[in-house]
Structure 1
């Protein structure tokens, strides 16, 4: 949990006003039409799958919390390592799976359940439903027995002149060649073998 003031609850994955990244970064087309790149790209700009990620500074606790804006690097770390999205410690895990707290959209999900929200621990789940306005409107607590990495959520680009052009915001699987044209902002998991729980 990030905090700069006593008593202030700021989720681990939230962004602070002292952290910056460009909403429309300057991107170029890779040689041979092989996707997008930063003109000054460094090794840390891509993950081990070769996906290009939003650049963001890491200064948690600096400035004011921006609850609705998820920090791409902390979200990715929490999803990959199955850390609680609120406190950043390991999420609640049993022999039946890992715990997720999701907003209730009112749409039943019988098949795939793609999520960008990292998992959660029990104590943070109880806290979140009381302090988060979006969750107070409705939430679903799910234990997932399977949760493979699916792909990324971000902005898809197309070739353009002089620079690539942003087209749409989408979730793309790692198996789709269009991922080379996607600037990732969040890691996506597919929750399966789900059990709905009650806090």
Structure 2
């Protein structure tokens, strides 16, 4: 069976009220470890990339008492999960697949965002260096549908 991006249900996390994305002006072109040009932040630090060197979107965050985020959740629940219900899965094999985010290109006018898609981009995609990730995607290979009522809370 072939599964397309349209078949996937990918829950998502939205920004909290007051959180803002970093400016496009903070992006630049740099040479990666493979000697190919890729996106980067002007003041890039280690936590800006994951272990596979993918650049992640930055968002501001307001922390309140005890280091907890402030503001209300933006966007609410994933519309598809809310309308279709939800299911609990106990996954035993769930390797990393790729990311969801925004692709960019370098033009005569500088770095420009391309139309974003909800389709996951695999980690091995040749254009991953021109992508700013906002969501991590795992492939669920082995799982069991479970009832939350049957699960025992961790001690």
Q: Place the TM-score, normalised by the shorter chain, in its bin.
A: 0.5 to 0.7
Partner in structure 1 of residue 52 of structure 2: 49
Distance 1:145 1:183, change over 3 A: same
Q: TM-score, normalised by structure 2?
A: 0.64
* 1:40 aligned residue (40, 43, 66): 43
* Cα deviation, residue 189, structure 1: 0.5
Distance 1:35 1:68, change over 3 A: farther
Is 1:143 matched up with 2:90? Answer: yes
* Cα deviation, residue 139, structure 1: 1.6
* Cα deviation, residue 146, structure 1: 0.8
Equivalent pair of 1:20/1:57 in contact (CA under 8 Å): yes
SS in 1 for 2:102: strand
Gaps of 5+ in 1: 1-12, 70-102, 106-133
Gaps of 5+ in 2: 1-12, 63-67, 149-155
What CA RMSD, in Å, does the superposition of the two structures yield over aligned residues? 2.8
Partner in structure 1 of residue 128 of structure 2: 179
SS in 2 for 1:66: coil
Equivalent pair of 2:91/2:144 in contact (CA under 8 Å): yes
Large movers: runs of 4+ above 4 Å? none
Aligned residues: 125
* Cα deviation, residue 151, structure 1: 1.4
Is 1:61 matched up with 2:69? Answer: yes
Distance 1:145 1:42, change over 3 A: closer
Is 1:194 matched up with 2:122? Answer: no
Distance 1:140 1:104, change over 3 A: farther
Q: TM-score, normalised by structure 1?
A: 0.52
Equivalent pair of 1:54/1:184 in contact (CA under 8 Å): yes
Equivalent pair of 1:29/1:163 in contact (CA under 8 Å): no
